[in-house]
Amino acid sequence: MENVDITGKVKNLIRFGLIIPVAISAAIGYAAFEHRHHVEEIQINNAKVTGTLISVRSLVDGKINEILFDDGDKVEVGDVIARLEVDVTPEAIAQLENTVALAKQNLEDLKLGQVVKVPVKRVRVIPSAPTRIDYPGTSGGVSSSELASLEQRANRMEELFEMGAISRNQRDAAVAAYENAKASSYSTPGYSTYVENEPTYVEEIEYVDQWQPTPPEALQNAENAIKQAELSLNVALQEAQETEVISPVSGTIYYSAIVEEEFNAGNALAKIGDSNELWLEAEVTEEIFNKVSMGLPVDYNLDGYNLAGTVIEKIAPDEKLEIDSMWFPPTADNPHPEFEIFGTDELPQEELHNDKYILKFSIPADFEGKPNSTADVKIKIF
């Protein structure tokens, strides 16, 4: 009977019997690790470099004659970054100077007092026409008609006597009767007289010239007019000298105007950003917003450099946007306001609310990025 050596087969069986369970266990363990440590990579496109910018604004109307730095150059506080041609002409200044002189002369005239029309009450006498009174004449003895009848009888008796129709005695008696009646009759003529009446008295208002000192209120108004005229002149003189635009801070300059461009007072000529205060900002969907946590590491390529950062802020919709401060145009009381710092953009001065999901990512402090540059950000979520 032939002996069979099974030693090799037993060794192979033992070897493969051990490897297969180990391989199965390793596969199961790796699958469990992958399940427990699943890595999801999220890419966010066109994240924009932004940060705190200072707007350098013109205080006067005019035109840019010269720009002394290139866009993106470093500037220091006090550097002249542009030169201007302002709209304040010598004729305008001369007119303002004349206004000041006239205002001062007006005050001196007022100090001398003034002649004004003042009302004075007068009584005017209006004479009244006299009243006429008529008095009639008077008479006595026989009446005039009776006297006429006696005269007529006497004449008739005279005629009869001459005719021989009556005696002398009859005639003489008729004549005597008439003469006696005439002698006893008398009359006086009538007359008229005038009686003076009381005059009429009428009160009237008459305006007459009278010198008076100028009221204090008028003097105060004249002094205020001088101050206003002098202020306008000083502002114009100052504007005439505002031919240089000075950088208020140190940082990187980004122009928003060009040579020969005309502008109005309050317009932003340039912006200056601090490269140490920049970050990446992106608008994302609500799903991505909810997946990403604060502090997660991120990778991105910016201006040709591979950089790393973290999630530094999450802004959900309806959160109030902060405006650090605001800039006001020059006024007569404050012709040279300070330059003010806004938030990431120059927002309107009214209160705004965010309606987007926004993520912010850090930029290395030593990296000199330019605002408005963009990068695609990768975030790994375990």
pLDDT at 19: 54
CA distance 162 to 65: 151
3-state secondary structure 159-217: HHHHHCCCCHHHHHHHHHHHHHHHHHCEEECCEEEEECCCCEEEEEEEEEEEEECCCHH
pLDDT band at residue 312 under the 50/70/90 scheme: very high
CA distance 167 to 176: 14
pLDDT at 20: 53
Quick check: 246 and 52 in contact, CB under 8 A? no
Q: What is the DSSP letter of 294?
A: T
Is it the case that residue 35 has pLDDT exceeding 90? no
- In this structure, the number of other CB atoms found within 10 A of the CB of residue 68 comes to 15
Residue 82 is which amino acid?
A
Domain definitions of the chain by residue range: 39-54+273-381, 131-195
Is it the case that residue 34 has pLDDT exceeding 60? no
The 10s digit of each residue's pLDDT in 202-236 is: 888 888 888 888 888 888 998 999 998 888 888 77
Secondary element (H or E) of residue 48: strand 40-57
pLDDT mean over 93-113: 88
pLDDT mean over 161-185: 83
Tell me the pTM. Answer: 0.39
CA distance 153 to 142: 15
Rounded to 5°, angle at Cα 97 from 94 and 98: 90
In angstroms, what CA-CA distances link 94 with 86, 238, 292? 16, 14, 66
The rounded mean pLDDT for the chain is 76
Secondary element (H or E) of residue 116: strand 114-126
Which of 138-147, 303-312, 372-381 is predicted least confidently?
138-147
Is it the case that residue 198 has pLDDT exceeding 70? yes
Is it the case that residue 313 has pLDDT exceeding 60? yes
Q: Which residues pair with 183 in a beta bridge?
A: none
The 10s digit of each residue's pLDDT in 246-284 is: 888 888 887 777 787 777 777 888 888 776 678 899 999
DSSP code string of 74-113:
EE-TT-EEEEEEES--HHHHHHHHHHHHHHHHHHHHHHT-
Q: Which residues pair with 204 in a beta bridge?
A: 122
Question: What CATH number has the domain spanning 39-54+273-381?
Answer: 2.40.30.170
Is it the case that residue 293 has pLDDT exceeding 60? yes
pLDDT mean over 20-37: 52
